[in-house]
Structure 1
Amino acid sequence: MNTVIAFILMFGLLVFVHEFGHFIVAKKTGMLVREFAIGFGPKIFSLKKNETLYTIRLLPMGGYVRVAGEDPEIIELKPGQHIGLLVDQDEKVTDIIINHKENYPLAEVIEVRQADLTHDLFIEGSFIGEEETVRYAVSETADYVMNETKTQIAPYNRQFGSKSKTKRALQLFAGPFMNFVLTAVLFFFLAGLQGIPIEEAEVGEVLPDTPASEAGLVEGDVITEIDKQSISSWIDFQTYVASRPNEALSLTIKRGDEAILLDMTPEAYQVDDQTVGRIGVMRGVERSWLKAIPYSLNETFYWSKLIVTNVAMLISGQFTVDALSGPVGIYDVTDQVVQSGVYSFLTWTAALSVNLGIINLLPLPALDGGRLLFIGIEAVRGKPISQEKEGLVHFVGFALLMLLMIIVTWNDLQRLFF
């Protein structure tokens, strides 16, 4: 049960932060955000506030921010159509009633002759049985009411496509960017609470009943030599000890102003079919919230570089699809990480967050990177690709991504249960 809760919280946080990036930039640039959703499929919770519907959906496979104009608008009035209109004190239309007009006794019913709900915002028509034309100005925030469900109209200046290429690109980039921010924030708190690893070979905690404790090694000791070979970093020390299981070692220790010689023999441990040596010490750490800032940025860069390298290896064929993990594989690793403690869980969450950011920036259809690519093409050719063609490319891309997800999930199940 702990793993289920941890997985839901982790996944929900990653998706929320990503979609919040898209959401806040869309709002700041004047776009109409129709829906902010966590998950896909049927709604299990919804709340309408101001212009936006906030939903939690059944399938925890991601989320989305639905901005007006990203998909073709379904709001349309045709000549000859009978509609009801509610107007405010300024004689501007606030509600356009499409059906069930009998439920709105105050509505003025007209037959539409022409209408523009995108640019000029007007409706022209005549009262039923009359020839005289009446013209109504439409409020920018008017609602289109179908089956008593309201959908706010989207004037062109509130649509995604009306904004400059820079604003559209920022709105698309903001989601992945927030994942990088989350990674840095998590590493900042990890460094502040857990400590920043010290580069030199300084001993932290010494585990009881180990070669190190029996030899007299204590926290704060700095290892300068092993078998008269200079040791300049913790990595040097760790590598040397790991390569010599069951071999007697002579360590030169700096303790304050004093140099001490200690002899110990690393115990042999089996790690991934390989025998390694361990003496039972933890790496020394430094606790500083100020130094946690550059440390968090360095860790974010390190993980970003690692993931980009792995993606490049996948593209070049050095990795196969079998090496990928989907939700089932991520859940399995999360189960192992949760058992290792809260710090390991936070590190895993940070790694997944930067991974989500990088994957979304890949120039693939249906991903943020793919949509950024279309804006780049628009900048080069001087005009946008038609919405229908771009929509088709993203639809096919999404279908292929779903197919890949099915294949990866099947591979996860085979690894775990067969």
Structure 2
Amino acid sequence: MPRPPRRIPTGTEAHTQLETSTPSDPQPPPRPPWIFGRILAGFIVLLIIVAGGVAAGWWIRSQSARVATPEVIGTTSPEITDVVGRHVLKTAGPAVVRVLGTTCAGTGEGSGALIDGETILTAASAIRQPLSIVIVTPDYRIRRANLLGTSADGVAVLRMVGRLGNTLPLAGTGPDPKADRVLVGYTASAKETMQSIGSIAKPVVLSTVMNTAELGGPVLDKSGQVIGVVVGDNVKNSRIVGVDKLRGYVARGSTAITAELGSCRRSRGPQSPVVPELQVASTPLAAEAQRLLAGYFTLQNRHDFQAVQSLYSEKLARSLDVERDSKGHQTSYFFIPKVTDVTPTETDGAAARVSLNVLFSPRAKGAEGEACRRLDYKYDLVREGGKLVIDDVDPMSPMRGCDAE
């Protein structure tokens, strides 16, 4: 179980010219009004008004359709944006989850589909040889999951500990080759996104509209049913496994998937940067503390313990050297940190309170069979050489499981 880094902390000018003249000859009588000209001018004005209204209506409908989706990226048709986007928000979106893991060989990060309240489909590349896995819902509920097995074509089947009500149904049959499809998943910054990927007959190249964290994301038809899952070792080699195969993988007692558990002493989670969310006013001091803690959590997750030393005070670096820091974080992964308070200190430093989650191996020292805990720490930050560094850390409340409501 990882310990905090405390003492031993696991115009131009206008010109007008008037001309007058006195006619020498009598003037002809005035011409009567040209009725047809007035009618023609009025008709032209009417056409302009109608055209403007049509354009404005199209613009409004276009914007409304886009607002109806979590995020529209890449090549998105108006039909998909309007029909599927609204459905995704109402039903499919809540059942698309983030998949995080501390693994021996995987990336530790992907998207997934919760299909029956407890079964999740994702990409095997995200959780290859896992020590521990969690899923995170769009409303930040965290649940532990176990790997049931992986398929030869790169699909992983997980079973969640407990149940959730939001589900995504598997389509009964394969899609119409000419029907539009969408991919739903997450970015590395945990933002849920939706991309049109065309039809089977006219597909969009996946690597042009997605990122690594979307591997494992479900492919949906216009009714919001799962018709495939995106898999691959990387975005460049990504592909879609269709629903006909997926049904076989989730069947009870399926022989089409095999277990792939990890046994390494050191494992890692996702390597993308982790930036704490500021839940306080973004003052200069709070922003500086946020940058410091972002560097700390990111380097810890990358196991770059030598670089972490530059973020410690001289006092802390003496008590928590590289070797000791490494031993305390062999399998840990910090995620979803939130800065809940930043208080200035008399020494031009700060006390930053942070709530966060840590994923680790259930066999780690002090884990006691658990794999994920919620932490509430106060980081004492001091100023050395003109910059904030971490000097100490104190727990503010007892640790608890990540799935505790």
The TM-score range, normalised by the shorter chain, is under 0.3
Of structures 1 and 2, the one scoring higher in RCO (CA 8 A, sep 6+) is 2
TM-score, structure 1 normalization: 0.17
TM-score (norm 2): 0.17
